[in-house]
């Protein structure tokens, strides 16, 4: 039986959520098909939750001890730019080639790392970071973070100073794809709106596209805006600070955590290490 997803339209300037009447209904087959608009330079992670259930099992998708990130294109083999690479090892050169088709020179893909859903993004930081911050010249921005109540948490540079591996390696940033709202798997928008345009503006604002998008209730996240924030371990209730990308809109209370990476040769690998008194893996514990 087809599973239905409720999609909210892009909110207006005075509202952060669409009304029920204007929701768009997509069934699961459509959800899987519309996953990625990579040709327009936006990122995709329209992973079916049902599809991921299988690879969350031990031994599925990523073998034990294998730190390489794999593409995940199940159900979108004919539509995603990496459709023919499902469960193949991610290579930076693939992302660079795909980014050349975009006016922002960015690209992204859904993936799986150690059984976890991830989104990997190529941002041409090394090319643009020394140039004026004009539109469509994306680079990573390092900024202060505030929790859901508006309380100052800290600056991401405080974490990077403790371990430089937190900063994206070789223009690649990997993000844990579980929404901080209700733990859906965020992807890029499945309907037309400004959040998925092939466009970048400085400042992490909610306008201008190139956002990671959660299909469930329209939360948006800017993969170029790196901040420190705080969240809670679902199992034991402990609170932790983490490095993440900024929530730019929607009901998600805070941004999504970064999973540090290293590019070894051309291979994208995920890293886990101790920093600030805890493991970076603890940053991923806010969902069941
Ligand atoms: S679960 Fe992502 S916006 Fe609700």
Q: Tell me if 37 is assigned to some domain.
A: yes
| Domain coverage including residue 255 | 24-284
Name the domain count of the chain: 1
Per residue in 31-77, pLDDT (tens digit) is: 322 332 222 222 233 333 323 333 333 233 334 348 999 999 888 88
Ligand 1 centroid, distance to 218 Cα (angstroms): 6
- The residue ranking higher by pLDDT, 114 or 205, is 114
For residue 9, pLDDT over 70 is answered with no
Q: What is the arithmetic mean of pLDDT over 231-248?
A: 95
Ligand 1 pocket, mutate which of 148, 190, 219 (most atoms under 8 A from CB): 219
Residues in the chain: 288
When comparing pLDDT for 24 and 93, which is higher?
93
Cα–Cα distance measured from residue 145 to residue 230, given in angstroms and rounded to the nearest whole number = 9
Atom in ligand 1 nearest the alpha carbon of residue 250: 3
pLDDT higher than threshold 50 for residue 188: no
- The answer, yes or no, to whether any atom of ligand 1 lies below 6 A from the CB of 212, is no
Q: What is the pLDDT of residues 105-156, one digit of tens each?
A: 999 999 999 999 999 999 999 999 999 999 999 999 999 999 989 999 999 9
Residue 239 pLDDT > 80, yes or no?
yes
pLDDT on residue 187: 57
> Is 203 a member of any domain?
yes
Residue 172 placed within a domain = yes
217 CB within 6 A, ligand 1: yes
Does residue 138 sit within a domain?
yes
- Domain-embedded: residue 158: yes
What mean pLDDT value characterizes the chain? 78
Expressed in angstroms and rounded, the spacing between residue 45 Cα and the centre of ligand 1 is 14
CATH code at position 36: 2.102.10.10
Q: Is the CB of 179 under 6 A from ligand 1?
A: yes
Query: Percent of the chain scored above 90 by pLDDT?
Result: 61
Give me the percent of the chain exceeding a pLDDT of 70. Answer: 75
- Distance from Cα 109 to the centre of ligand 1, integer Å: 20
The reply to whether 148 falls in a domain is yes
pLDDT-based confidence at residue 243 (cuts at 50, 70, 90): very high
Judge whether residue 182 has pLDDT over 50: yes
State in Å: Cα 44 to ligand 1 middle: 16
Tell whether 119 is covered by a domain: yes
Residue 152: count of CB within 10 angstroms of its CB: 10
Of 22-31, 33-42, 96-105, which range is least confident?
33-42
Residue 16 lies in a domain: no
């Amino acid at each position: 039986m087809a599973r239905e997803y409720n999609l909210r339209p892009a909110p207006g300037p005075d509202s952060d959520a669409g009304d029920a009447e204007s929701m768009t209904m997509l069934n699961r087959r459509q959800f899987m098909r519309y996953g990625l608009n990579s040709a327009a330079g936006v990122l995709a992670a329209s992973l079916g939750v049902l599809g991921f259930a299988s690879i969350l099992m031990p031994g599925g998708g990523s073998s034990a001890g294998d730190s390489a990130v794999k593409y995940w294109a199940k159900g979108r083999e004919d539509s995603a730019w990496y459709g023919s690479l499902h469960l193949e090892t991610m290579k930076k050169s693939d992302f660079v080639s795909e980014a050349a088709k975009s006016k922002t020179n960015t690209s992204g893909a859904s993936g799986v790392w150690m059984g976890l859903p991830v989104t990997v993004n190529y941002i041409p930081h090394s090319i643009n970071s020394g140039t004026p911050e004009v539109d469509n010249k994306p680079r990573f921005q390092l900024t202060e973070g505030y929790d859901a109540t508006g309380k100052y948490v800290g600056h991401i540079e405080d974490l990077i100073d403790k371990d430089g591996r937190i900063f994206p390696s070789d223009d690649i940033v990997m993000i844990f794809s579980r929404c901080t709202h209700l733990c859906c798997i965020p992807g890029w928008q499945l309907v037309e709106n400004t959040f998925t345009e092939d466009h970048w503006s400085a400042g992490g604002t909610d306008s201008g596209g190139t956002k990671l998008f959660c299909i469930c209730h329209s939360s948006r996240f800017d993969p170029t805006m790196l901040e420190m924030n705080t969240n809670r371990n679902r199992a034991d209730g402990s609170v932790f600070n983490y490095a993440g990308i900024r929530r730019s809109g929607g009901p998600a209370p805070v941004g999504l955590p970064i999973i540090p990476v290293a590019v070894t040769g051309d291979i994208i690998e995920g890293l886990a290490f101790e920093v600030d008194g805890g493991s970076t893996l603890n940053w991923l514990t806010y969902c069941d």
